[in-house]
Every structure is written in structure tokens, then in C-alpha cells.
Amino acid sequence: MLNLTEKFREMKQRGEKITALTAYDYPTARLLDESGIDIILVGDSLGMVVLGYEDTTRVTLDEMLHHTRAVSRGVSKAVLVADMPIHTYATPEQALATARQFVEAGAKAVKLEGGVSRSGEIEAITGAGIPFMAHIGMLPQHVREEGGYKVKGRTQSEVEALLADAQAVQKADAFSVVLEIVVADIAKRITQSIEIPTIGIGSGENCDGQILVTHDLIGLFPWFTPKFVSPEARVAEEIRKAARAFIERTRGPGALSNRDGSD
């Protein structure tokens, strides 16, 4: 754990931006790993972009372990982090047991949502020598309670809570912390206030690194794209084009005339 923690702290000190993307299957993981990405996250966002759920609150441990195993087969250089799904870290004992299952599935580190309120669970994980990535700000597993995906850090009480969360996860030995949908100026303030790197998603450019859902980055989930994402590709449209070309080729006059019933 110390080597991983030192690696990312040193990147922060050098001003070297950390890059992270999600993967849920072997080919995507292998492509990202070959690209030189620093961190590959098996995110519970797979609930929406892979499994078709409305949000992440229905994702199960078995589903996350299944996808972690697949991704691990394609990763040789990047740090593979796995999300711990909702209802799998209610106590320090449960959190550690869950984390160990992810390590057995091939993850090099785990992530769960929460700061101060989850200090005990985080300490149980890091105390057992399992590297840990924290996640504060907007917590997708609480989206139903909060009534949507809301920007954090707009009020003084939220700012104070975020700063306390950042200090808490650092004290609990997290090697980095994801800041999700935090007001940019507050994300910058948090970044400057702690020694571990911040990795932003929808939290401005002043974090120590950035993470995105790969499906958003490459335009593979066209039915919804977050406002803070500018897709670098339009993979969904390319798939549609390829499928249409196959349909037209298969149904074309030549294909029909060649059907002699022998197949």
C-alpha cells in the first residue's frame, strides 16, 4: 500500500496529472491499459451503461465481482480499482470482507463512497494492507435520497463537510480521493488542502487528475451524456452504421438470390 500511496503523492508533488477511466469488460480494459492510463476503475456505473439500470443502487456484489474478473484479465500496467457497491460496507467488518473479495477477483485497490461517516470502514480496509481510493462530493449511491445528481459545495455547510471529508479520508490512508460534481473553486481548495491527489469528475480543471466513464468519453451511451463531458468519439453511431451496413448487405438482392435452401 505504501508504494502505491507514495507513487500518487509524488505525482501530485510533481504536478503530473493523474488519468483514470472506467472499464467493465476485457477488451475495453486491455485497450485502456495499452493506452497508458494510470487508473482503470470498474465502476458501479456499469449498472447504468452496461446493465441498463436507472442508477447504481441496484448493482450487486456478484455483478461487480464478475466484471472485475473480466477487466483484470486485460490489465497489466494500470492500477485496477473496483467500486464497492451499495449495501456491502455497512460495518468495518463487512467492508473488509467485501474488499478482500475484490482483491481475490483481481483488483489492486477498492473504492467506496463517503468521508467522515465511513472512516471506520476505510481504516479497516487500509489497515489490512488493501489500497483504497476515496469518493466524496456527489455520491451516486445516494441519488434517490437526494432526488438527483446535485452539485456539492454551494453552501458554507457543504464546503465545511467536504473539507472534513477530505481530511478524514487522508487520515484513513486513502491514496487518492475522487471529487464528484463539486463546485470548481471548492475542488481547488480541497486539492490544495490535502497531500493525497484529488481526481475530479465534473469538478473543474484544478484537481490533481480526472476520471470519466469511458462510455461518456467515446459516445457509447448516446441516450445520456453528462453536461461536463465532451465526447472524443461517436462510437454509438459507428455501431449503428456497421449494423445497418450488415443488414443491407444481408438483405440485398445478391444475398437473396444466393439463398438456395442448402443452409
Q: Which of 12, 5, 72 is nearest to 200 (CA)?
A: 12
Residue among 63, 113, 121, 180 flagged as catalytic = 180
Residue position matching grid coordinates 441516450 = 223
Mean pLDDT estimate for the chain = 94
Q: What is the pLDDT of residues 77-134, one digit of tens each?
A: 999 999 999 999 999 999 999 999 999 999 999 999 999 999 999 999 999 999 999 9
For the chain, counts of helices (H) and of strands (E): 12, 8
What tens digit of pLDDT does each residue of 199-208 get?
A: 999 999 999 9
In DSSP terms, 111 is beta-bridged to 83, 133
Provide the whole-model pTM.
0.93
Percent above pLDDT 90 for the chain? 90
Name 239's Cβ contacts closer than 8 Å, sequence gap at least 6.
220
Per-residue model confidence as pLDDT tens digits over 131-190: 999 999 999 999 988 888 899 999 999 999 999 999 999 999 999 999 999 999 999 999
DSSP H helical segments within the chain, as ranges?
2-14, 26-35, 46-49, 61-72, 92-104, 119-127, 143-146, 156-171, 184-193, 214-217, 235-251, 253-257
Q: Is 180 a catalytic residue?
A: yes
Residue range 63-82: mean pLDDT, rounded: 98
